[in-house]
Amino acid sequence: MPDLIKHYSPLRYPGGKSWLAPELREWLAKDGQAELVELFAGGAYASLLAVLEGYVHRATLVEVDPAICAVWRTVFSSDARKLCSRIRAFRFTEENVEELLDKKFRTDVGLAFQTIVKNRARRGGILADGAGILRAGERNKGLASRWYPQTLIDRIGRLNGYAESFKVIEGDALEYLALLNRRRRPVKLFVDPPYTKLSEYGVKPLYRFNHIDHAKLFGRLHRTSHDVLITYDDSDLVRKKAMQHEFDVKRILMRTAHSVKKYELLLTRR
């Protein structure tokens, strides 16, 4: 097993799951399966950890956002070199960033590069429309302090070495779950849906796709035969649905991208 490191992903994803690593490793080690399926994959923290640390042989990333899918398709393809070349050559100035973010890209490589730059330039890595650039940078050292080209290149290069172990599905997680529930071969199923509060009126979005049918998701998760681990925001709605659908609930302290301590819920089958 490789050395355990904190970050494998080139994306700094809002709602990231690095705080979950101990519980995730414990769950993956139990009744091991050959495959992990990650719904609402986003930054794909669970899938990257599971494959690179040897818990599973392959992982399927299910994500509806085409920009995020472009990143993963590129990272796990021969175009990863082109992406790294663009990262190496880019001058991370406010003018260059704003010019790049205004462009429309038709290729995965172009969209992946734009998405990574956007992810680094915005506070907390927020990709939703309307989020602004963090001009002050980290510790008020300027925007360029957010750009670590060699680190990104190293991460992409390492992940590309595992390309055959990853599959990217661009589509709706609920629809894919319905298909997965008809599949007999067992998988490890990790589910990290958008916070329920993101569907509330007036709440600023963290992602481009915030709204899902949480009731339908719980219903389909209740019916699945796969070994499932679910993370959710700590809310009355989630606790109620978890009780109705016979999931055990564990409350875990985590720290946000802004170093704010809060609790999330970890749901497992009884």
- Between CA 21 and CA 126 the distance in angstroms is 22
Q: Is 7 a domain residue?
A: no
Q: Is 241 a domain residue?
A: yes
Q: Is 11 a domain residue?
A: no
Model pLDDT, residue 39: 98
Model pLDDT, residue 1: 45
Q: Is 8 a domain residue?
A: no
pTM: 0.89
What's the number of domains the chain is made of? 1
Alpha helices per DSSP H over the chain: 21-29, 45-52, 66-75, 80-89, 94-101, 108-121, 149-160, 173-180, 214-223, 236-244
- Between CA 66 and CA 157 the distance in angstroms is 22
Q: Is 10 a domain residue?
A: no
Q: What is the pLDDT of residues 153-169, one digit of tens each?
A: 999 999 999 999 999 99
DSSP 150-219: HHHHHHHHHHHTTGGGEEEEES-HHHHHHHHTT--S--EEEE-PPPGGGGSTTPPPSSS-----HHHHHH
Q: Is 9 a domain residue?
A: no
| CA distances to 50, 97, 133, 182, 213 from 174, in Å | 22, 35, 32, 13, 9
- Between CA 233 and CA 195 the distance in angstroms is 6
Residues in the chain predicted with pLDDT less than 70, given as ranges, are 1-6, 14-16, 124-126, 128-142, 197-210, 255-260
Measured in whole angstroms, the distance separating CA 208 from the mean position of its chain's CA atoms is 13
Q: Is 97 a domain residue?
A: yes
Model pLDDT, residue 130: 62
Closest CA to 190 of 22, 68, 62: 62
CATH number reported for the structural domain that contains residue 200 in this entry: 3.40.50.150
Model pLDDT, residue 2: 47
Q: What is the pLDDT of residues 76-104, one digit of tens each?
A: 999 999 999 999 999 999 999 999 999 99
Q: Which amino acid is at 59?
A: A
Model pLDDT, residue 132: 65
Q: What is the pLDDT of residues 171-192, one digit of tens each?
A: 999 999 999 999 989 999 999 9
Q: Which amino acid is at 263?
A: Y
Q: Is 12 a domain residue?
A: no
| CA distances to 85, 149, 153, 228 from 109, in Å | 11, 16, 14, 33
* Residue 110, domain extent: 18-269
Model pLDDT, residue 262: 81
